[in-house]
Structure 1
């Protein structure tokens, strides 16, 4: 009988606050095997308190600046190896990129928790984002050449297409929906090795990765994964789809289900992001 492994990711917007608001209850009932976290904004001892004490194996790359960023991977079985950061120092990848290799039966899988810079037009923050997107593309090419089953998951801080932002017309000049940012994603998801013309007119080779969320949702608005805390954005579903599961084609073929765990109400949210969960068939599940 086929087994199904569950891979989830979520920007927790501070893990201590998320747990105070109910993250633990969600995790207890979701049956997750590998959990990728972004914006942890905590130290190792805090992760150990919330997750390690419950039997999770933990990998954590905190940001050099205390209280900012931070990525982690929690798993029901230990990783066989892991790596942190991107090679390009100008990408400022501290607390933003962690890779973990797993062996699930006879299937090796690499999971990356990614927290891309949010950026800000015409500031050093945007320059750091360009460098990060460049370095991420280079690493994606390396990973695809080295491994068959790779998932890069987390908060990419870019809405790729007009379908990914409710009010896209008002955001074309803002970080997160700039044509140049979106063109990176045109290349990431473009046919491998073919010349891809980005939405900004730039050209480059396609990397051949798969956007699982768009593949499963089809040509519809959303499903959104982040909502501003301002006004009635959540209640009106005026959101952005910026949390992705970006996977190699071989791993995409194993995806059985995809879900955005949007909270039932604003009051029940424990982060401004919703968890994204994949079910991967024919991969042996972790055992507690």
Structure 2
């Protein structure tokens, strides 16, 4: 059983070794202090993972899915409380080979269960082929999320690589034809929230503009806060209802990668 209250942090590391060199472990231990940490873009293989990298934030347990391609993708999930079951991959050979999914399952009182997922959605910005792959992923992953929800409660954290609405990126007019803000991608998010019944927990807690989690390395995008909100906590309604008011925290004071950590407390 997973005890509450629960603090959950999600961060695209853009390389776990790089982020560690920039002080992410110290920040997690001293300031964030999460009970669960979901990370994306490890850009590492099992042989690269030192004991320190396997215990980020002082969390004693972890599971990883590595990409078959060295220096690419990969996800991890760290925990304070041992899950009842861990699943590596979501059963799709093409995308499991890219290292995009780790799930920790906790049995809850009364026979229920809670799945906490760290996921890294594909980007389609590099080519038409990758955008086509992203659409294949979205189609298959939607069905997976529906099945997951039918089995119990879900909290999915990760880099979704989609800005849902105009409020979720600074220069929305200039990105209407770009991957990450395409009509088809935004419609997928709308369908997930309105038909599948998931909740965008951050936006539930914070309706304000200019809340971003990723900035291009070009120009002065981060300094000028010309960013995108593409990192999410997506939860089933019962879990979303436990999110504490004013607890959503995008940490920008230090730079560990081109993304910022997103932390939310659940009562």
- TM-score, with structure 2 as normaliser: 0.91
In structure 2, the residue matched to 1:24 is 25
Q: Secondary structure at the match of 2:51?
A: helix
Query: Separation in 1 of the partners of 2:132 and 2:249?
Result: 31
How many positions carry a matched residue from both structures? Answer: 260
Answer with 97-106 or 224-233: which moved more. Answer: 97-106
Task: Kindly state the Cα deviation for residue 122 of structure 1 after the two structures are TM-superposed.
Answer: 5.8
Matches within 5 A, 1:130-169: 130-147=135-152, 149-169=153-173
- Counterpart CA distance in 1 for 2:16 and 2:94 is 27
Distance 1:139 1:182 in 2: 18
- Write out the 4+ residue segments of structure 1 that deviate beyond 6 Å after TM superposition: 104-107
Does the Cα contact within 8 Å between 2:205 and 2:248 map onto a contact in 1? Answer: no
> RMSD of the alignment, in Å?
2.1
Instruction: Structure 1 unaligned segments of length 5 or more: list them.
Output: 191-205, 282-288
Q: Quick one: structure 1 residues 279 and 105, their matched pair in 2 at CA, closer, same or farther if it must change by over 3 Å?
A: farther
Alpha-carbon displacement from aligned partner over 1:75-123 (angstroms, at most 9, x marks no partner): 1122211212233435466311111112577874211111000113762
Runs (5+) with no aligned partner, structure 2: none
Pairing of 1:133-282 with structure 2 (within 5 A): 133-147=138-152, 149-190=153-194, 206-218=195-207, 220-257=208-245, 258-264=247-253, 268-281=254-267
SS at 1:51 equivalent: helix
Structure 1 SS opposite 2:244: strand
Q: Could you say what secondary structure the match of 1:78 adopts?
A: coil
Contact 2:148/2:154 (CA < 8 Å) preserved in 1? yes
TM-score w.r.t. the length of structure 1 is 0.84
Conserved in 2, the CA contact under 8 Å of 1:10 and 1:273?
yes
Q: Is the 8 A contact 1:86 1:135 kept in 2?
A: no
Equivalent residue for 1:198?
A: none
Equivalent residues of 2:163, 2:181 under 8 A apart? yes
Q: Indicate the residue corresponding to 1:35 in structure 2.
A: 37
